[in-house]
Amino acid sequence: MRSPATAAVLCLTLVTACGASEDKAQPESSPSVSLWGTAGPPAGKPPKGGTEPFDADRAVLRIKRLGYTADTKAGTLKNLRGPFRAIHAHCSGSVDGTCVSVFFFYGNEYAGYDVPAAAQSAIVSQDGETVTLSYPRYLPTDPQCCHSGGEREYRARWKDGKVVFSPPLPENPNYPDT
Protein backbone atom coordinates (compact mmCIF):
# COMPACT_ATOMS: atom_id res chain seq x y z
CA MET A 1 0.00 0.00 0.00
CA ARG A 2 1.31 3.46 -0.92
CA SER A 3 1.59 6.32 1.51
CA PRO A 4 -0.56 9.45 0.94
CA ALA A 5 2.59 11.40 0.02
CA THR A 6 3.57 8.83 -2.62
CA ALA A 7 0.04 8.87 -4.06
CA ALA A 8 0.10 12.69 -4.20
CA VAL A 9 3.44 12.71 -6.05
CA LEU A 10 2.16 10.05 -8.46
CA CYS A 11 -1.04 12.03 -9.06
CA LEU A 12 0.91 15.27 -9.61
CA THR A 13 3.23 13.49 -12.04
CA LEU A 14 0.28 12.14 -14.03
CA VAL A 15 -1.43 15.54 -14.15
CA THR A 16 1.77 17.23 -15.25
CA ALA A 17 2.44 14.62 -17.93
CA CYS A 18 -1.11 14.85 -19.24
CA GLY A 19 -1.00 18.63 -19.19
CA ALA A 20 2.22 18.62 -21.23
CA SER A 21 0.50 16.79 -24.05
CA GLU A 22 -2.01 19.64 -24.41
CA ASP A 23 0.71 21.71 -26.14
CA LYS A 24 0.72 19.30 -29.09
CA ALA A 25 -1.30 20.30 -32.12
CA GLN A 26 -4.76 18.77 -32.09
CA PRO A 27 -6.74 18.01 -35.23
CA GLU A 28 -9.19 20.75 -36.07
CA SER A 29 -12.77 19.76 -35.44
CA SER A 30 -15.13 19.82 -38.38
CA PRO A 31 -18.83 19.27 -38.88
CA SER A 32 -20.16 15.81 -39.46
CA VAL A 33 -22.13 15.07 -42.59
CA SER A 34 -24.67 12.30 -42.96
CA LEU A 35 -24.35 9.91 -45.88
CA TRP A 36 -26.99 11.46 -48.11
CA GLY A 37 -26.96 14.96 -46.79
CA THR A 38 -24.64 17.80 -47.43
CA ALA A 39 -23.84 20.35 -44.83
CA GLY A 40 -22.41 23.79 -44.96
CA PRO A 41 -20.03 25.34 -42.52
CA PRO A 42 -20.48 24.64 -38.81
CA ALA A 43 -23.34 26.51 -37.16
CA GLY A 44 -22.41 30.01 -36.17
CA LYS A 45 -19.43 30.06 -38.52
CA PRO A 46 -20.36 31.76 -41.78
CA PRO A 47 -18.45 30.68 -44.88
CA LYS A 48 -15.72 33.06 -45.90
CA GLY A 49 -16.69 32.64 -49.52
CA GLY A 50 -13.24 31.66 -50.67
CA THR A 51 -11.58 34.93 -49.68
CA GLU A 52 -8.75 33.04 -48.00
CA PRO A 53 -6.36 30.69 -49.87
CA PHE A 54 -7.65 27.13 -50.27
CA ASP A 55 -6.15 24.85 -47.62
CA ALA A 56 -5.76 21.81 -49.86
CA ASP A 57 -3.73 19.90 -47.25
CA ARG A 58 -6.60 20.21 -44.77
CA ALA A 59 -9.11 19.16 -47.45
CA VAL A 60 -7.08 16.07 -48.36
CA LEU A 61 -6.79 15.17 -44.66
CA ARG A 62 -10.58 15.49 -44.24
CA ILE A 63 -11.11 13.18 -47.23
CA LYS A 64 -8.63 10.69 -45.74
CA ARG A 65 -10.51 10.72 -42.42
CA LEU A 66 -13.67 9.80 -44.35
CA GLY A 67 -11.92 6.67 -45.70
CA TYR A 68 -10.96 7.96 -49.15
CA THR A 69 -7.78 8.98 -50.95
CA ALA A 70 -7.78 12.11 -53.10
CA ASP A 71 -6.94 11.39 -56.75
CA THR A 72 -5.01 14.66 -57.10
CA LYS A 73 -2.07 15.84 -54.98
CA ALA A 74 -2.66 18.71 -52.55
CA GLY A 75 -0.09 20.87 -54.36
CA THR A 76 -2.20 20.80 -57.52
CA LEU A 77 -5.49 21.24 -55.62
CA LYS A 78 -4.25 24.53 -54.14
CA ASN A 79 -4.81 26.10 -57.57
CA LEU A 80 -8.53 25.30 -57.72
CA ARG A 81 -10.67 28.39 -58.11
CA GLY A 82 -13.23 28.96 -55.39
CA PRO A 83 -15.15 29.43 -53.33
CA PHE A 84 -16.91 26.20 -54.41
CA ARG A 85 -14.48 23.34 -55.11
CA ALA A 86 -14.65 19.60 -55.74
CA ILE A 87 -12.06 16.86 -55.21
CA HIS A 88 -12.42 13.41 -56.76
CA ALA A 89 -11.30 10.52 -54.53
CA HIS A 90 -11.34 6.74 -54.38
CA CYS A 91 -12.03 4.46 -51.44
CA SER A 92 -8.78 3.89 -49.57
CA GLY A 93 -7.62 0.37 -50.24
CA SER A 94 -9.71 -0.05 -53.39
CA VAL A 95 -7.82 -2.11 -55.93
CA ASP A 96 -10.07 -1.83 -58.97
CA GLY A 97 -10.98 1.88 -58.80
CA THR A 98 -14.72 1.24 -58.81
CA CYS A 99 -15.38 2.92 -55.48
CA VAL A 100 -15.27 6.70 -55.88
CA SER A 101 -16.85 9.87 -54.52
CA VAL A 102 -16.55 13.59 -55.15
CA PHE A 103 -16.05 15.77 -52.08
CA PHE A 104 -17.17 19.40 -52.04
CA PHE A 105 -15.69 22.33 -50.14
CA TYR A 106 -17.03 25.85 -49.80
CA GLY A 107 -14.17 28.15 -48.96
CA ASN A 108 -12.13 25.94 -46.65
CA GLU A 109 -15.11 24.17 -45.12
CA TYR A 110 -16.16 20.64 -46.00
CA ALA A 111 -19.61 20.85 -47.62
CA GLY A 112 -20.45 17.21 -48.41
CA TYR A 113 -20.14 14.73 -51.25
CA ASP A 114 -22.02 13.39 -54.25
CA VAL A 115 -22.81 9.74 -53.41
CA PRO A 116 -21.07 7.15 -51.25
CA ALA A 117 -18.92 4.79 -53.28
CA ALA A 118 -20.11 5.28 -56.84
CA ALA A 119 -18.76 2.76 -59.35
CA GLN A 120 -17.30 5.49 -61.56
CA SER A 121 -17.45 9.26 -61.93
CA ALA A 122 -15.39 12.16 -63.21
CA ILE A 123 -15.13 15.86 -62.62
CA VAL A 124 -15.62 17.34 -66.09
CA SER A 125 -15.08 20.96 -65.06
CA GLN A 126 -15.21 23.40 -62.17
CA ASP A 127 -15.00 27.18 -62.17
CA GLY A 128 -15.39 28.11 -58.51
CA GLU A 129 -19.19 28.36 -58.71
CA THR A 130 -20.30 25.26 -60.62
CA VAL A 131 -18.88 21.74 -60.71
CA THR A 132 -19.88 19.49 -63.60
CA LEU A 133 -19.75 15.75 -62.87
CA SER A 134 -20.13 12.87 -65.31
CA TYR A 135 -21.29 9.34 -64.50
CA PRO A 136 -21.25 6.40 -66.91
CA ARG A 137 -24.62 4.65 -66.93
CA TYR A 138 -24.67 0.89 -66.67
CA LEU A 139 -27.55 -1.18 -67.95
CA PRO A 140 -28.55 -4.27 -65.93
CA THR A 141 -26.71 -6.64 -68.33
CA ASP A 142 -23.49 -4.58 -68.59
CA PRO A 143 -20.27 -6.07 -67.21
CA GLN A 144 -18.33 -3.95 -64.70
CA CYS A 145 -15.76 -3.05 -67.33
CA CYS A 146 -18.07 -1.63 -69.93
CA HIS A 147 -21.12 0.58 -69.70
CA SER A 148 -23.54 0.86 -72.60
CA GLY A 149 -26.03 3.38 -71.23
CA GLY A 150 -24.05 6.49 -72.18
CA GLU A 151 -22.91 9.20 -69.80
CA ARG A 152 -24.99 11.60 -67.72
CA GLU A 153 -23.79 14.97 -66.49
CA TYR A 154 -24.92 16.73 -63.33
CA ARG A 155 -24.07 20.24 -62.22
CA ALA A 156 -23.43 20.98 -58.56
CA ARG A 157 -23.70 24.49 -57.10
CA TRP A 158 -23.62 26.00 -53.64
CA LYS A 159 -27.08 27.40 -52.89
CA ASP A 160 -28.67 28.43 -49.60
CA GLY A 161 -25.90 26.79 -47.56
CA LYS A 162 -25.88 23.40 -49.27
CA VAL A 163 -24.76 21.56 -52.40
CA VAL A 164 -27.56 21.39 -54.97
CA PHE A 165 -27.52 19.19 -58.09
CA SER A 166 -29.17 19.89 -61.42
CA PRO A 167 -30.74 17.67 -62.54
CA PRO A 168 -31.29 16.03 -59.14
CA LEU A 169 -28.65 13.38 -58.50
CA PRO A 170 -30.13 9.87 -58.13
CA GLU A 171 -29.07 7.68 -55.23
CA ASN A 172 -26.94 5.59 -57.59
CA PRO A 173 -26.07 7.61 -60.72
CA ASN A 174 -24.21 4.67 -62.33
CA TYR A 175 -27.29 2.46 -62.12
CA PRO A 176 -30.20 4.94 -62.03
CA ASP A 177 -32.80 2.41 -63.20
CA THR A 178 -32.23 -0.10 -60.38
pTM, full prediction: 0.71
**Is 10 a domain residue?**
no
Residue 135 clears pLDDT 60, i.e. is over it? yes
Mean pLDDT of 122-127: 96
**Is 101 a domain residue?**
yes
**Is 99 a domain residue?**
yes
Mean pLDDT of 135-148: 91
The SS3 of residue 31 is coil
DSSP character string of 118-150: BS--EEEEE-SSEEEEEEE---TT--TT---S-
Residue 29 clears pLDDT 50, i.e. is over it? no
- Domains in the chain, number: 1
Within 13 Å, how many C-alpha atoms sit on residue 91's CB side? 14
**Is 177 a domain residue?**
no
Range of the domain at 75: 30-166
Tell whether omega for the bond before 170 is within 30 degrees of 0, i.e. cis: no
